[in-house]
Structure 1
Amino acid sequence: MLNRVILIGRLTRDPELRYSGSGTAVTKFTVACDRRGDDGADFIQVVTFKQTAEACASYLKKGRLVGIEGRWQTGNFENNEGKKVYTNDCIADNVRFLEKSNSGQASSGQSTTNKDPFQDDGKPIDISNDDMPF
């Protein structure tokens, strides 16, 4: 069986960093992912742990474009009113920072003296389905 999720989207809010009772770093944030061929978007909660959580809390802010690889997890809990609440989260194994930070450095730490050919210049990108590898 396989449970893999790959998302590309923008953060709708800054990541929230917390620590579990055992001291494990945990962040939660929401990513807005556009629907293909639709004007809508899906808002997906993402959870990260350990070093990934600390990096996300340090370097990601609302509006940043990220690529996420992980697994889908459903769960439930009982709220303060005694009602069962269901949850759906992407548990991220890998988070890629897909655009430059405000400091002018690429997220990999390399110098960005060359113009980024994928920078958003406000023009639509014309890609046919024949060009897609999947």
Structure 2
Amino acid sequence: MNNVCLVGRLTKDSEQRTTQSGIAVTSFTVAVQRRFKDADGSYHADFINCVAWRQTAEFIAKYFSKGSKIGVSGSLQTRTYDDANGVKRYVTEVIVDEAEFVQSKCNGKQQDQQGTENALLEDSEDFQPLDDAELPF
């Protein structure tokens, strides 16, 4: 089974191109923070190259930019090619099948999804906070 799921931030704006047959392709790099700290107490990140095709490529190019938090899933692929000097190069990249928002923007600030939902509820005319005494348990 070859399945990859990543959550991280774009290191720079994605690069969207179109093949000669008109198919959209977008390349980008995701910085994924490691789950553990080093001896200095710092987190490190891995920089993972990704490629998306067709509608997924167009979606990423349109809605994500440098620093955006993104969730992607797909498969790991390796390939080789000879560069201009005849040197064999090896590439490992994630072929993205799906991409999704991990954070949303609200009033120009980055907030996590739950924070945004709470803000929307509180702004609603019908929202009335409950007193703990009103709860049946």
Fold match, TM over 0.5? yes
Partner of 2:44: 40
Question: Which of residues 115, 118, 124 is equivalent to 1:114?
Answer: 118
Normalising by structure 1, report the TM-score: 0.75
Partner of 2:91: 87
State the match for 2:15 in structure 1: 16
Map of 1:125 onto structure 2: none
3-state SS in 2 of match to 1:55: helix
SS at the partner of 1:71? strand
Judged with a 3 Å threshold, the aligned counterparts in structure 2 of structure 1 residues 103 and 91 are, in CA distance, closer, same or farther, namely: farther
Q: Deviations over 1:36-73 (max 9, x none)?
A: 11321100011000011011111100001111100000
Going by fraction, where is strand more abundant, 1 or 2? Answer: 2
Gap runs ≥5 in structure 2: 38-42, 109-115, 121-137
In the alignment, the residues of structure 1 paired with residue 106 and residue 81 of structure 2 have an alpha-carbon distance, to the nearest angstrom, of 39
Q: Please state how far the C-alpha of 1:21 moved relative to its aligned partner.
A: 1.6
1:113 is displaced (CA, Å) by 6.4
Instruction: Calculate the aligned-residue CA RMSD, in Å.
Output: 2.0
User: What TM-score, normalized by structure 2, do the two folds share?
Assistant: 0.74
CA distance in 1, matches of 2:117, 2:4: 33
1:6 aligns with 2:5: yes
Do structure 1's residue 74 and structure 2's residue 73 form an aligned pair? no
Which AA in structure 2 matches 1:69?
Answer: S
How many residues align? The count is 109
Structure index of larger Rg? 2
1:61 matched to 2:65? The reply is: yes
